[in-house]
Amino acid sequence: MFNLIQPRDLNRSDEYKEYAQLAIDEYNRRFSETNAKLELVKVSKAMAHLFDIMRYYITFEAKDFADGGKTKTYQIVVRDAMRKISVLSFRLKPAEDEQGSGNHGKEWIWEGHLFYGHLVA
């Protein structure tokens, strides 16, 4: 159980929606000057890694109103340490042909720790 990344049941997705919404709210705040606005459509995948805390790897779809309302797929990493939630990273999901290539520097919108919506370096 420890150190394994396991799929999560999306039938209990309210928690994962909450995590995705936290990341979206931060994205919209950070990029408000560029008229950036994402709106959550759905959580499509959630994986969990139990170590001394829970780490979630969540894939979700959101409408990007700065790009004509197109639905795009994003990925986040969230840490839940006794309900102290932090978004560790947020990115546009890489194209299928780029996954696993190690060339993901451009896709990361941010990396760092977000505690309740505030970035901590």
Domain with 96 in it: 5-120
| pLDDT-based confidence at residue 10 (cuts at 50, 70, 90) | confident
Amino acid at 3: N
Give the count of domains, the chain: 1
Write the CATH number for 92.
3.10.450.10
β-pairing, 70-81 vs 54-64, is antiparallel
Taking only the tens place, the pLDDT of each residue in 67-101 is 999 999 999 999 988 878 888 889 999 887 665 55
Task: Please state, for a pLDDT cut of 90, what percent of the chain lies above it.
Answer: 43
CB 20 within 8 A of CB 43: yes
The answer to whether residue 108 scores a pLDDT higher than 80 is no
For 45-62, how does the pLDDT look when each residue is reduced to its tens digit (9 = 90+)? 999 988 768 899 999 999
